[in-house]
Amino acid sequence: MCLADAGNGLRGTDFVSTWPSGIHVGAGWNRALTRERGSGMGGEFKTKGVNVLLGPVVGPAGRVVLNGRNWEGFSSDPYLSGALVHETVSAVQAAGVITSTKHYIANEQETNRMPSSDTESVSSNIDDKTMHEVPFQDAVHAGSGNIMCSYNRVNNSYGCANSKALNGVLKTELGFQGWVVSDWGAQHAGGAAALAGMDVAMPSGDALWASHLVEAVTNGSVPEARVDDMVIRTIASWYQMGQDQDFPKPGAGMASNLMEPHQIVDARNTSFRSTLLDGAVEGHVLAKNIRNALPLERPKMVSIFGYSAKNPDRNNPSNGLSPWLFGAESFNWAEFAAGFLGWAGPTGKTAIAFNGTIYSGGGSGATSQSLLSSPFDALAQQAYDDGTALFWDFTSGEPAVNPMSDACLVFGNAYATEGADRPSIRDDYTDGLIKHVAERCNNTVVIFHNAGIRLVDQFVDNPNVTGLIFAHLPGEASGRALVSLLYGASNPSGKLPYTVARNESDYAVLGPDRPRGMFERFPQSNFTEGVFVDYRHFDAHNITPRYPFGFGLSYTTFNYSRLSVQKAADADFAEYPTGQVVEGGQKDLWDVLVDVSADVTNTGAVDGAEVAQLYVGIPAEGAPVRQLRGFEKPFLNASTTETVRFGLTRRDLSVWDVVAQKWQLVRGEYTVEVGGSSRDLPLVGKFRI
């Protein structure tokens, strides 16, 4: 079997697509489009002879704001992330490719993620309740054939040798039927890992597995039935996806050296070009738009500034390790290699990719670019078509600015990569560039390609900053998508899959925990905040964000009305589920208990899509004020109305009971809120259980 990276597209080969990254998909809030993306990616992996797609990512789950890999996942909210991982797993596996949902579990920082010298990996010390509030359940419910165990320790036991996590939660409670593979180099025990539930060692098990596993069975340390179970689980997924029938040879389309003559296997399917563009469009979030700055209408003069507007100077594979291979073409290669490859040098020092726009983050989750549209490429074409005078400066932090510009576009980015956590969530250079341009141009629009949360309070209140777009990581259609939005061919519909704070101190957990004191050789990270991450933390502490979770502007306006909350007919409201365990947990966890509907009206003059969001307040002690429990994204023509419907399941309404070790449907009055963001919820209803 061939296992290959990653959850945003096939890495390290030619003639594949650069799909929007996880964070961009999360900002799209679109189940159907997420499923199309999964189908397209799955088809490309299959064409290239890849049996197992090493993704999607739901861990890290966004606990640590500065985590270098948050961009690979969908959101800091478990419901949104769970809904999108379900669609991804279902679609990729329908295409005949096994998904390896990762990284299980509590993998929330890159700092000390692996043992080095005499220091162990960080231990994620997580309580039972919080451990159950993660999206892996949704991936298992969708039938993910593989789960990847993570580098970190979980409550001081390595993730790939943690029987509670693997045998207890995953294989017993959640009814996982597939196989567990180690992250590359995450295995630190032989017989203990086998007994704990790990099934396959990667990249090589020679030191701890292989003949040693034979020896462990021979001497009675590991039951032969455990090895049978490993084989059955692995081969079962191979049969389930139909890989025994007309599947390409493993890695058939992936040349080992792209610099030598090789057979071209073009995995790209033209049927998915619209999916790539639509996905790129919908993951852009318009956060500020005053004085009708956008959309642009055939401007006479546009000035472009900033390092993230153009393509990197090189997009060219080379033999061996290279920036192209790991999504670091625009970044400092020496710094990247120090963090990811372990080369000598400083890591986590630079917040931005100076050398061009970014299409994905860096590391094993990076994409391989075969075709790219940068913002500048697309803007130049639009200017040519419109007869617009176009001026630019990609290098200066204090550029000359023509005051006659109809609009000034400033492009920055926030880079992130596997192997190092981010140094900050803002940088002085880019903030200084924006303020410099805004002092000289009264219509300054800022665009960030951000592989994570990016603070904007240094400049966003400047009245000359008329527009702000979080462009995330759009994939290969980046420039075409942005121009479509800037010029009004597309109406923005993205919403933030995280909260943008005013200050770093507003977040529950900003940066990673580091070794200190008596635990210097055994780093500890205590998840004392529990489930209160992102907007749940902001709500609990009454902190006003700059832009709330679920927020995003449009070129039109929407109104909400006619909320209806009804208990489902013949629904069972028993305190605990009673169904048999299936993939994802007890079967009746997925029964719909309450039906909610609301009307959404486009009250403006422009056709557009709106993400209608439903939040539930569960009357349990210590529960968040509200938690996302539904979303729909209707496209509405101007002045039209559509009814959106949400089905609340037993799991949606339950909390984990640490004593009963089951999901509990607590007694009391539940609150239902519906609206356009976590802080804009005009419709409020209640029901009692």
Spatial distance between the Cα atoms of 418 and 7, rounded to a whole number of angstroms: 14
Spatial distance between the Cα atoms of 317 and 133, rounded to a whole number of angstroms: 41
641 SS3 class: strand
- Give yes or no for a cis peptide into 203 (omega within 30° of 0): yes
Mean pLDDT per block of 10 residues along the chain (689 residues) reads 97 97 98 98 98 98 98 98 98 98 98 94 97 95 98 98 98 98 96 97 89 95 98 97 96 93 96 98 98 97 98 91 96 96 92 98 95 97 98 98 97 98 98 98 98 98 98 98 98 98 98 93 97 98 98 98 96 97 98 98 98 98 97 98 98 97 98 98 98
For residue 492, what pLDDT is reported? 98
Residue of 584, 663, 649, 587 whose CA lies nearest to 620: 663
For residue 500, the 8-state DSSP code is: B
Spatial distance between the Cα atoms of 277 and 121, rounded to a whole number of angstroms: 40
Spatial distance between the Cα atoms of 202 and 192, rounded to a whole number of angstroms: 16
pTM over 0.85: yes
For residue 516, what pLDDT is reported? 87
8 A C-beta contact, residue 102 and residue 53? no
8 A C-beta contact, residue 556 and residue 591? no
Helix axes 375-386, 478-486, angle to 10 degrees: 50
Residue of 106, 109, 102 whose CA lies nearest to 140: 102
8 A C-beta contact, residue 267 and residue 44? yes
Residue of 32, 2, 9, 4 whose CA lies nearest to 267: 9
* Beta strands, E only, 144-234: 146-149, 153-154, 157-158, 179-182
Spatial distance between the Cα atoms of 100 and 3, rounded to a whole number of angstroms: 9
| Cα dihedral across residues 382, 384, 390, 393: positive or negative | positive
Tell me the H-state helices in 107-258.
128-132, 136-141, 163, 191-196, 210-218, 224-240
Query: What are the helix and strand counts (H, E) for the chain?
Result: 17, 28
Strand duo 465-470 + 285-289: pairing: antiparallel
Spatial distance between the Cα atoms of 316 and 292, rounded to a whole number of angstroms: 41
Helix (H) or strand (E) holding 486: helix 478-486
Helix (H) or strand (E) holding 522: none
Spatial distance between the Cα atoms of 292 and 327, rounded to a whole number of angstroms: 36
- Give yes or no for a cis peptide into 449 (omega within 30° of 0): no
For residue 206, what pLDDT is reported? 85
For residue 353, what pLDDT is reported? 98
* Beta strands, E only, 603-665: 608-609, 612-617, 627-632, 635-636, 641-649, 655-657, 662-664
The amino acid that residue 93 corresponds to is Q
User: Among 183, 377, 421, 534, which one carries the catalytic annotation?
Assistant: 183
Residue of 21, 8, 7, 68 whose CA lies nearest to 339: 68
8 A C-beta contact, residue 44 and residue 13? no
For residue 150, what pLDDT is reported? 98
Q: Phi-psi category of 158—alpha, beta or left, where left has phi over 0 and alpha has psi -120 to 50? A: beta
User: What b-and-e string marks burial along 443-463, b requiring 16 or more CB atoms within 10 Å of the CB?
Assistant: bbbbbbbbbbbbbbeebbeee
Exposed, middle or buried by CB within 10 Å (0-12, 13-18, 19+), for 228?
exposed
Spatial distance between the Cα atoms of 147 and 126, rounded to a whole number of angstroms: 19
For residue 91, what pLDDT is reported? 98
Instruction: Mark whether 428 is an active-site residue.
Output: no
